Amino acid sequence: MRNIAVKKILIDRGLTVTQLALACGYRRDQVSMCINGIRRYEHIRRCIAEVLGLEYDKLWPEEARFDRQSADRMDDDACPTGC
CATH of the domain at 68: 1.10.260.40
Range of the domain at 9: 4-78
Cα separation, 28 vs 45, whole angstroms: 13
Higher-scoring residue by pLDDT: 73, 2: 2
**Predicted confidence (pLDDT) at residue 54 exceeds the cutoff of 60:** yes
**Predicted confidence (pLDDT) at residue 80 exceeds the cutoff of 50:** no
Which of 2-6, 36-40, 66-70 is modeled with the greatest confidence? Answer: 36-40
Residues 6+ apart with CB under 8 A from 22: none
pLDDT in tens, 15-46: 999 999 999 999 999 999 999 989 989 999 99
Q: Which of 71, 64, 74 is nearest to 1 (CA)?
A: 64
Higher-scoring residue by pLDDT: 4, 22: 22
Residues 46-58, mean pLDDT to the nearest whole number? 93
Domain count of the fold of the chain: 1
**Predicted confidence (pLDDT) at residue 53 exceeds the cutoff of 70:** yes
Residue 83 lies in a domain: no
Residue 45 lies in a domain: yes
Q: Which of 74, 44, 77, 78 is nearest to 60 (CA)?
A: 44
Q: Is 24 exposed, middle or buried (0-12, 13-18, 19+ CB in 10 A)?
A: buried
